[in-house]
Structure 1
Amino acid sequence: MLLGKRICVGWNRLLLLLPVVILIPHFLSVKELHQQMDSQDIPKEKPKKPDHLIQGPAAGEGLPNRLQCQGTRALNRTQILRFRNNSLPTDHVALVTVFTTYNSTPGSRPNEMVTVGNMSYNKVERSMAILNVFLNFVQVTMPDSHVIILTDPAFNLPLHRDTITIQPIQGEYSRDKLMLQRIRSYIMFLQTRLEKLKQKQEQVTHFIFTDSDIAVIGDLGKIFSDYPNFDLALTFRNNKDQPLNSGFIAVRGTTDGIQRGVAFLQEVLAVYSSKFMRASRMLGDQLALAWVVKSKPNFNIKRFSRGEAFQDMIGGASVLFLPCSLYNWTPPEGAGQFHGMSLDVKVVHFKGSRKRLMLEAWNFLSSSSNLPDMLCLILRSGRTKYDF
């Protein structure tokens, strides 16, 4: 009997402890959940971007027709390139870009000042420095060309250069609508030029619309003589969703060329406004470009994967498609970067946070006067996100 009582007491104690045993894992899981939620509430610090160039291996080593580098010394392009042709230019070419700046907000962090070389910049000064470097590259590589800057009439652009024209165009230049406004500005600019051309107030000038964060390192005017039958030129890459980049658009400056270029851009603007306003701050223009081109009957999308220039009729315009690997090469995300840099590259596009690299490249070229070596600097430093 005594043994039976002890067994019963033992079972009673076990039954009393059983809920506690069951609840312990539950309490632990709730505690872990709260810890996870608390950790999610704590904002994670963004990794600090490098404040100096970080060089790695140069892509394309051993591949034919690619820049070969030993450090920042070019092995197969050691001579300074000659940019001027022996013959006098027969066509006038102007580069056109849309530019404005945005002041830093009152809550901006003090560490937003950035130092490159011996200069320190705030956000506005950085944008102006990039614009000036863009102009410097054009002056070196295309000295006979002109640069036209389209801007907000309310913006006082502090630039004074003989080869620069600042043309205010009314519009909406907010950050969220800038890409949309850029296309509108292109159209309004071309329409104004068309009227002057019809009235014989101006000579024929071909136009190349570009972003201002590019380095022109070859004579872009040659496309108008090498490909004499196109109205409009775009750059393409092997990218299924975004095969066309809007950072380079060329329009032949004849009456027919401008009219067809305006009609094409108006169609892009209509598609942009009706289908891609959700991406109005970024990429909407590129999505609209791709939609207009790919929606045309019998257009062969596979040609984007071949990396060779080709022409096609899009609507009523003859459109020349130029490979990004030559006319819009981007470190590190542009077409061709994994296979290095072509020896015939004409444009380097410093998208996104690569603006420091653009300034550093110009500083390097200014001190060395060696363009191929500068390209090695870009090739070896282009896969790092810097502080711009």
Structure 2
Amino acid sequence: MGRKDWLAMRSSSWNGWRRCLVFFLLVLFILLNLFYVLELHQNPAAQPPPKKMNTKFDHLVLGPAAGQGLPNRLQCQGTKALNKTHTRSSSNAGESVSFVTVFTVYNTSLADSRLSNFVTVGNASYTKMERSMAVLNVFVDFIKVTMPRSNVVILTDPASDLSLFGNSVTVYPIQGDYSRDKLMLQRIRSYITFLETRLEELAQNPGHINHYIFTDSDIAVVDDLGHLFNDHPNFHLALTFRNNKEQPLNSGFIAVRGTTDAILRAKIFLQEVLKVYSSKFMSASRMLGDQLALAWAIKSHPGFDLRRFTKAQAFLENIGGASVLFLPCATYNWTPPEGAGQFHGMPLDVKVVHFKGSRKRLMLESWNFLSSSSDIFDMLCLVLLSGRTKYDF
């Protein structure tokens, strides 16, 4: 046998051993997995523990107050505020401020009325629909405390019955599509329609100036906002911004000066936002579409410097012929952080607290606390201590 034949035979033998080894390992792997499956069936305790679900609490959970020792942050000892600022009142005679929000009532199914869907806050229990109404009532109550001379206007579906409010609240029906999937789109349309009616009223009665602040209904106004129109006399409309690359603008707070020119320019601006919304962001029409459209309308303006969103300082910019005042969310649209993430406390000059998502329980609890303590800064300490918890709303 020659060397060449010997090498070929050796190579063939090695390949045979390698195939046997691979086959042996494969059989061993199958047997081990089979043994593991049989063990799980015989011993359920050996199964891996189920993944923990995100817990939402049905009561306030107090934690440490973030921002302790930092300048210009609320300092608390328990729910007692250690530093306070003086609230300011609007002083311009003949001018007033109205808050405008969009709200509708949805029909609830039998499943929604089951006991399991009830939540209890303080001494009151709510169905799903009653929760929304309770939040709306607290939204009005906070305004009555901090800006008692202001009015609230609720833009709503004509089919909604919101007749329970008193003289300080005006219910304004506007035809449209208020379905859950289109509510954010309808909100902009309702704002535009409302501004058009204001223009008609001003044409008949030009002497009275009424400023407007369009907000979500899950906010608490914790300081008088009338000074905003005095301290910044040159803006037509105001938006709130944050240092967020994808969603730098929050649509939950839009202020409009009550002059004819400002209302007209604000209407034209919102019409442009609506156009962007309808053409580019309908896939996000249930949530965030309006904020994405707002950001597009601003960021696409030639020469706009996005770096200005990184500093929490108010600034003025001309956008499409409208003088737009950009206000930091940290003061005019502050949201308690929820879950993980950086949290540097509550700015001492905060004027609006936005209880987004499940924080609505915290909004109702905060109002209950304020009703018993009558100190809005102590109430803000309660919000600060509770702001990182996920609640059951």
Q: What TM-score bracket applies, with the shorter chain setting the length?
A: 0.7 to 0.9
Q: Is 1:65 the counterpart of 2:72 in the alignment?
A: yes
Alignment-derived partner of residue 107 in structure 2: 103
Q: Is 1:257 the counterpart of 2:227 in the alignment?
A: no
What secondary structure is seen at the aligned counterpart in 1 of 2:160? coil
Give the Cα separation in 1 of the matches to 2:255 and 2:67: 29
| Contact kept? 1:83, 1:141, Cα under 8 Å | no
CA shift, 1:197, in A, is: 1.1
Alignment-derived partner of residue 315 in structure 1: 320
Give the Cα separation in 1 of the matches to 2:31 and 2:174: 65
What secondary structure is seen at the aligned counterpart in 2 of 1:191? helix
Q: Is 1:327 the counterpart of 2:332 in the alignment?
A: yes
Unaligned runs of 5+ in 2: 1-18, 41-49
Alignment-derived partner of residue 365 in structure 2: 360
CA shift, 1:202, in A, is: 7.6
Runs of 4+, deviation exceeding 6 Å = 15-21, 30-35
Q: 1:316 and 1:115, CA in 2 relative to 1: closer, same or farther beyond 3 A? A: same
| Contact kept? 2:94, 2:208, Cα under 8 Å | no
Aligned match for 1:297, one of 274, 296, 302? 302
1:233-273 deviations in Å (ceiling 9; x for gaps): 00000000000000000111111001100000000000001
Aligned match for 1:25, one of 19, 26, 29? 29
| Contact kept? 2:236, 2:265, Cα under 8 Å | yes
Give the Cα separation in 1 of the matches to 2:128 and 2:269: 35
Aligned match for 1:373, one of 371, 378, 387? 378
Give the Cα separation in 2 of the matches to 1:158 and 1:25: 71
**Structure 2 counterpart of 1:353, one-letter code:** S
Q: Which moved more, 1:177-186 or 1:192-201?
A: 192-201
Give the Cα separation in 1 of the matches to 2:332 and 2:128: 28
| Contact kept? 1:235, 1:328, Cα under 8 Å | yes
Q: Which moved more, 1:123-132 or 1:100-109?
A: 100-109
CA shift, 1:31, in A, is: 8.6
**Structure 2 counterpart of 1:98, one-letter code:** V
Give the Cα separation in 2 of the matches to 1:323 and 1:265: 20
Alignment-derived partner of residue 276 in structure 1: 281
CA shift, 1:88, in A, is: 6.3
Give TM-score, length-normalised by structure 2: 0.86
CA shift, 1:331, in A, is: 0.3
CA shift, 1:100, in A, is: 1.1
**Structure 2 counterpart of 1:129, one-letter code:** A
What secondary structure is seen at the aligned counterpart in 1 of 2:233? coil
CA shift, 1:344, in A, is: 1.0
Unaligned runs of 5+ in 1: 1-14, 36-42
Q: 1:325 and 1:17, CA in 2 relative to 1: closer, same or farther beyond 3 A? A: closer
Alignment-derived partner of residue 236 in structure 1: 241
1:41-75 deviations in Å (ceiling 9; x for gaps): xx978444111111111111101111001111111
RMSD, aligned α-carbons: 2.7
Alignment-derived partner of residue 122 in structure 1: 127
CA shift, 1:107, in A, is: 3.4
| Contact kept? 2:95, 2:208, Cα under 8 Å | no
Give the Cα separation in 2 of the matches to 1:147 and 1:270: 28
**Structure 1 counterpart of 2:272, one-letter code:** E
| Contact kept? 1:83, 1:142, Cα under 8 Å | no
| Contact kept? 2:89, 2:225, Cα under 8 Å | no
Aligned match for 1:52, one of 48, 51, 59? 59
Matches within 5 A, 1:82-101: 84=89, 87=91, 89-101=93-105
What secondary structure is seen at the aligned counterpart in 2 of 1:363? helix
Give the Cα separation in 2 of the matches to 1:74 and 1:288: 39
The percentage of counterpart residues that share the same residue type is: 66
Give the Cα separation in 2 of the matches to 1:183 and 1:297: 24
Alignment-derived partner of residue 193 in structure 1: 198
| Contact kept? 1:100, 1:152, Cα under 8 Å | yes
CA shift, 1:29, in A, is: 4.6
How many aligned positions are there?
Answer: 364
CA shift, 1:343, in A, is: 1.3
Q: 1:189 and 1:24, CA in 2 relative to 1: closer, same or farther beyond 3 A? A: same
Give TM-score, length-normalised by structure 1: 0.87
Alignment-derived partner of residue 251 in structure 2: 246
CA shift, 1:162, in A, is: 1.1
**Structure 2 counterpart of 1:269, one-letter code:** L
CA shift, 1:373, in A, is: 0.6
